[in-house]
Amino acid sequence: MIKKIHLAAMVALAALAGVAQADRLDDIKNSGVLRVAAFDSNPPFGFVDAQTKQISGLDVDYAKELAAKLGVKLELVPTNPANRIPLLASNKVDVVLANFTITDERAKQVNFSIPYFASGQQFIAKKGVLKSPEQLGELRIGVDKGTTNEIVLREKHPSATLVAYDDTPFAFTALRNGNVQAITQDGPKLVGLLANVPDKENYEIPPFSISDDLIGAGLPKDEVRLTEYVNDFLRELEASGKAQTIYDRWFGPETKTPLTRIYRIGDK
Amino acid sequence: MLDDLLAPKYIGWLIDGFLVTLALSALASAAATVLGLMLCLARLAPTRWLAWPALAWLSVFRNTPLLVQLFFWYFGLAALMPQGLLEWLNTPHYWHLVFFDVSWPPFEYVAGFVGLTLFTSAFIAEEFRAGVRGVPTTQTAAARALGLRPLQIWRHVVIPQAFRIALPPLLGQYMNAVKNSSLTMAIGLAELSYASRQVETETFKTFQAFGIATLLYIGTVALIELAGQWVQRRNPTLGAAR
C-alpha cells in the first residue's frame, strides 16, 4: 500500500515536473519541425545514400514515420556516437535515433523510449551445425580478442572452448578452415561480414542471441509527455506491421544483409 | 595494493598459460635441437645435394617473420588440407597407453609447435655450424698428422670444442624460443601472453596481468641462464668459454 502511495506521489511529481518545464511535445507541434539526430556513416542504421545523397537507413525510417504521425516536417541532424547526448542536452535536437544503446549510465542524462531494435550477440556456423544455444557448451567457438562477446560467452556457457583471434576476419578464416565450429559477434556485424563472403550459402546465422543490447530513441531528460508519445508511436508501428516493413527493408531476406528478426517492439 | 593484485581464478589462468608456454618451448627446443643438428650436418656436407637444400631451408625460415610462419601453418596450410584430415586434427582423440592416457591436442598446439620448432631449428643449425667453424683448421690438421681417422677427428677433436663454443648461443636460442612462443597467441594458442591478455580484458587490471606475465618470462629465461652456468661448471670440458 505504502509502495503504491509512493508510486502515485512520484508519478504526480514527475507530471508536475513535466508541466513546470516547457513541454517539448507542444514546442514541436507549434514549430512544425521535428529535429532528429541520426548517424550519417553507420549503415544500415543511418548513412548517406550514394545515389540520393540523403541520409537514410533504419533509424531514419523511424524518424520519418514519427514526423508523419506528428504531422510536422522532419529535419535530420547528422551526429557521431559521442555527440548524441550533448545534442539532446543543449536542445539542438528533439529526438536521437542513432543506434542508441540503452544503458543505466546514459539513462541518468537522457530519457529513453521503449526499445525498437535489439543488437544481440549471435553466431555464424556452417549450415546445420548450430541449432540451439544449448549446443554451445560442446563447441569450439572463435571470438574476437578483448571484446565483451568473449566475456559474455564464457559466463553463459563456461564449458564451451573459446579460441580468441585478433579480429573477426581471422576468426572467420578459422571457421572456414574448421578450426572452430562457430564464431560470435553482434548480429548486425555478422551479417555485414557474411555479405562479403564468396561462399556465403554454406554458412548461416542461427536465429537466436545470447545477449541483447536494446536500442531506443533518446529524448530530452524529463520530457515525460514526449517520451510517452514516442512509446505509443512505437507500439502502434509494431501493431500495424510497419515496424516489420522497415526492418525488412534493411535486414529482410531480399537484402544483402539478411538477419532474422528476433526482437519485436514490446518484447523485453 | 595486495588486495587488488588478482583474484585466484585469474592467477589460475596465468599459471595454466605459463605451463603451456613452458611445455611448448621445451618441446619445440628439444625437437629443434635434433633437427638443427641434422641441418647443420647437411649444410656442412661435401655434396651440394645436401648442402643446397639445407641452405634453402635456412634462408626460408631465418628470413621470414615467425608471425607470418605461424599464420601459414595455422591458416594457410589448413586451407589446403582435405576437410576430413583437418576435422580429425581438430577433434580430441584419446589413446590409452599402459600407464596413462594420451590425448591429441587441438590444432593450435600442433601448428604452434611445428611453427616454433622449424623456426628455431634454422637458428640452432647456424649456431652449431658457427661452433664447428670456430674450431681452428690447424686442430684438424694436427689430428690428421697424428694419424687419426676422419671419424676420430670429429669424435675427439672437433665436436667437443665445437660444442663448447656453441653452448652459450644455443642456450640463447632456447631463451628466444621461450619469448617467441608468445607469438602463438595470434593463432589462438592459450599460452602465457594469451592468458595475460584475457585476464586484462576481464579484470581491467592491466598492470597486474602483464606485470605477472613479464615476471614469469624473466624468471624462465633466468633459469635457463643459471642451468647453463651450472652445466658448464659441473663439466669442465664444456669450459666456461665466455
Model confidence at A200, in pLDDT bands (50, 70, 90)? confident
Residue with cell 549450415: A127
Q: What is the pLDDT of residue B161?
A: 92
Q: Which helix (H) or strand (E) holds A143?
A: strand A140-144
Residues in chain A with CB shorter than 8 Å from the CB of B198 are 150, 164
Residues of B in contact with A147 (CB under 8 A): 201
Separation between Cα atoms, residue A77 and residue A95, nearest integer Å:
10
For residue B158, pLDDT over 70 is answered with yes
Burial class (CB in 10 A: 0-12, 13-18, 19+), A159: exposed
B188 — contact with chain A (CB < 8 Å)?
Answer: yes
pLDDT tens track for B204-220: 788 999 999 999 999 99
CB atoms within 10 A of CB A60: 25
Share of chain B above pLDDT 90, in %: 68
Q: How far apart are CA A96 and CA A221, in angstroms?
A: 12
**Does residue B97 surpass a pLDDT of 80?**
no
Q: How confident is the model at residue A135 (pLDDT cuts 50, 70, 90)?
A: very high
Q: Which fold, B2-234?
A: MetI-like fold (1.10.3720)
DSSP state of A267: B
Alpha-carbon span B20 to A169, nearest angstrom? 26
Residues of chain B contacting residue A176, judged by C-beta atoms under 8 Å apart: 79
Q: What is the pLDDT of residues A40-50, one digit of tens each?
A: 988 889 999 98
What's the complex ipTM? 0.75
Averaged confidence pLDDT in chain A? 89
b/e burial code for range B56-79 (CB count within 10 A of at least 16 → b): ebbeebeeeebeebbbebbbebbe
pLDDT at residue B140 greater than cutoff 90: yes
CA distance A188 to chain B (A): 23
Percent of chain A with pLDDT over 90: 62
CB contact under 8 A, A178 and B90: yes
pLDDT value of residue B88? 77
Assigned C-alpha cell, B183: 607469438
Query: pLDDT value at position B218?
Result: 97
Residues paired with A77 in a beta bridge: A37
Cell of B124: 640452432
**CA triplet A14, A20, A23: central angle to 5 degrees?**
90
Q: What is the dihedral of CA B225, B228, B234, B235, to 10 degrees?
A: -150
Q: Give me the pLDDT at residue A21, please.
A: 53
B186 touching A, CB under 8 A?
A: yes
Q: Within a 10 A sphere around the Cβ of B186, how many other Cβ atoms?
A: 21
SS3 A109: coil
Q: Choose from A15-29, B6-20, B97-111 the range with maximum mean pLDDT.
A: B6-20
pLDDT of residue B241: 46
- Paired with A76 in beta bridges are A36
Record: contact A151-B186, CB cut-off 8 A: no
